[in-house]
Structure 1
């Protein structure tokens, strides 16, 4: 029966069968050292007199587990049998044991099909899986229903900008930039819903924080009094997501030397107006109406210095900066908000308009044709409750949590302005 690397400390003195990849090798003639990597870790294997295959070949090893303080993990396997299950046919384009974030990112991404095997390369995806698991578990416990909405749509949730067009038989359709309109409709069915799914944004960016396809963690809930309930929900949700990451992906967090973020029970808040004033008067930054990347970074530093928090809610955005469905206030602001994590926006959300006539007025005020949203609007004729929600960008959250230099490292096969492969 196969033994995993993580279980070897309990097998000292026993003979085990291992299967994995040849991570590294060193041939000293009579004695040969190799590192075998499986999904749980790396172990040193000692053998001799064998013809070793190229790194990344898949192997089966049978041997005795012995303690060795100088070996990785304090033990090694003295091989009695070594079988090559599938040999590597040529050297890898990047030496997997030497893979680091400082390597040329284009090289790492071009050969992602093999560079992902590196321990540091695969670790962010394990952490992200844990974050998503915590996301689902918390919301399930709070009475939410997971839903699955269409990804080929007639119109965009935000009015048609930033959409990827596709041919859909005799019609023109688009890749969904958000499940927003559908999750609102489903609030009328289940009251509380969430979705974990990819979304697409046709934005002409080529930065370390932008992707054109990313994983969106969406939440929507009905019968709320205000956006305050959404802020409280996200605070508790993030607590559980982080806890799950540190419990089930602790090894990966340690491997990447991730600094645990401070997450207070009450995340500090600034209104959009307060944030702009602070940027101008205290931080000396000429903030425009829409907060730039640099403005977000400065606000993140301010929150850390003033409140000791890695998180900051920006609330009460002006109506001009929010989608048509955002609940407006008489003073020209809305019940919309963003959440910054270490100076990067990872969440956008807010309370929604729930009355039919007000939605029609908002669409027209934005210069949008209500006919393009007919299927969405119909449900608001049938008693939609006050509701709201938010969406978390999984890759951005992972990037900032782990201190990755590029958001592309937080997706297995990233899609950006210039990349459609592998």
Structure 2
């Protein structure tokens, strides 16, 4: 019997490449059952499940129990009925760690039977379940593809401060914190910094946490989430930003599908994403719902859901760009649409009737910032560093931000965004 290098444990995903060889792998005991005089053990690690079959002739094995951490050495054989089409035989077990007492959750069933609150409280255990692993494996691929897609578009990754001296999004509440005798805030977005970095690299992106002190207690809001941000210079209009977003989102969906497996279809990016202006969207909603919504300053969640259904029925698309939101609902740095007074050169991307991306073109002249801030009664004090970037020759630019958890939840059909968050932070939860 030939033997592969077994000094360092191979991950379960690799084991299938060594049929006929003896390998060492490691993980947690997922399930144990006796059948026909044989012991069937399912081993789990971060890459998948592996069946191990132990016969009495193989000799004694330790008393195995769920969630015990073990190292296993055995021969890999083909077995179409086993998970992944292979199994390990003649295994030798080394126990590396034992659970103390009874487990608070049972992980052996195909789905966790515990409620969401219990799963979040016992996250250290609940996240081990294959269904939870699947969510965050897909999420990891989304973030990876975002990075790779923008790198192909010649964007540079940057890392900006999360402790800031001035609130970056005037429309959102902020978390205050003491800072060596001064007031500081947790960053609501990297917006100011990524605009400043357009003046350095031209195209930048960031993957990082953002913080919103908004008292929402819904299935789509968090106090901390991961934002996938991008900003690009030398644009002719928001359409250039939307084109990059479309390409990158397509790459992200392909990567997510690869992680999920072809047996679990998720979503595909249409060749062209339909576009509707905010005014037109309100007219459509007014006609469909039988009420005058034409003066509404924003889209309510119910309106987004209706528009998602409309895009699906009219264009066969899960995605819809809504462009031209009212300036009153956009931050001061948003470029106005001079052809349609009162409206902006901004957009949201809806996915299955929910906003997952916000973006648009920004102001790029210092004088325009002075005017915009004066009109809104905003002080320039504390923003000198940011505003100075527009005194050094800033090109027309724009960008977007994707909520990673919200995209993950919508893509996988999860009922609550907390199911797509490792350790959620909201109005009630600060642990674990």
Does TM, scored on the shorter chain, surpass 0.5? yes
2:11 and 2:179 map into 1 onto residues whose CA distance is 47
Choose which of 324, 331, 342 in structure 2 pairs with 1:316. Answer: 324
Choose which of 128, 132, 143 in structure 2 pairs with 1:121. Answer: 132
1:218 and 1:111 map into 2 onto residues whose CA distance is 31
Q: Are 1:36 and 2:46 matched, yes or no? A: no
Question: Hey, what does 1:395 align to over in structure 2?
Answer: 405
1:54–1:91 CA contact under 8 A, matched in 2: no
Once the two structures are superposed, the pairs formed by residues 12-411 of structure 1 within 5 Å of their partners are 12-27=19-34, 30-47=37-54, 48=56, 49-98=60-109, 100=111, 103-159=114-170, 161-247=172-258, 249-251=259-261, 254=263, 257=264, 259-284=265-290, 287=293, 288-330=296-338, 331-411=341-421
1:55–1:91 CA contact under 8 A, matched in 2: no
1:167 and 1:99 map into 2 onto residues whose CA distance is 46
3-state SS, counterpart of residue 221 of structure 1 = strand
Question: By how many angstroms is 1:260 displaced?
Answer: 2.9
CA shift in 2, pair 1:274/1:160, >3 Å = closer
Deviations 1:181-240 (A, max 9, x none): 111111111111111111001111111111111111111111111111111111111111
User: How many residues get paired?
Assistant: 417
Question: By how many angstroms is 1:378 displaced?
Answer: 1.7
3-state SS, counterpart of residue 284 of structure 2 = helix
1:285 and 1:58 map into 2 onto residues whose CA distance is 61
3-state SS, counterpart of residue 96 of structure 1 = coil
Question: By how many angstroms is 1:28 displaced?
Answer: 5.7
TM-score after normalising by structure 1: 0.94
Deviations 1:300-359 (A, max 9, x none): 111011100000001011110110100012311110110001111111111001111211
Structure 1: which 5+ residue stretches go unaligned? none
1:186 and 1:209 map into 2 onto residues whose CA distance is 30
2:83 and 2:133 map into 1 onto residues whose CA distance is 19
2:274–2:311 CA contact under 8 A, matched in 1: yes
3-state SS, counterpart of residue 189 of structure 1 = helix
3-state SS, counterpart of residue 214 of structure 1 = strand
1:54–1:89 CA contact under 8 A, matched in 2: no
CA shift in 2, pair 1:90/1:28, >3 Å = farther
1:119 and 1:320 map into 2 onto residues whose CA distance is 45
CA shift in 2, pair 1:190/1:268, >3 Å = same
Question: By how many angstroms is 1:99 displaced?
Answer: 6.1
Deviates more, 1:101-110 or 1:384-393: 101-110
2:75 and 2:239 map into 1 onto residues whose CA distance is 59
Structure 2: which 5+ residue stretches go unaligned? 1-5
CA shift in 2, pair 1:303/1:101, >3 Å = farther
Deviates more, 1:401-410 or 1:23-32: 23-32
Question: By how many angstroms is 1:70 displaced?
Answer: 3.4
2:89 and 2:357 map into 1 onto residues whose CA distance is 50
1:228 and 1:45 map into 2 onto residues whose CA distance is 55
TM-score after normalising by structure 2: 0.91
Q: Are 1:415 and 2:421 matched, yes or no? A: no
3-state SS, counterpart of residue 425 of structure 2 = coil
1:103 and 1:272 map into 2 onto residues whose CA distance is 42
Question: By how many angstroms is 1:280 displaced?
Answer: 1.0
3-state SS, counterpart of residue 174 of structure 1 = strand
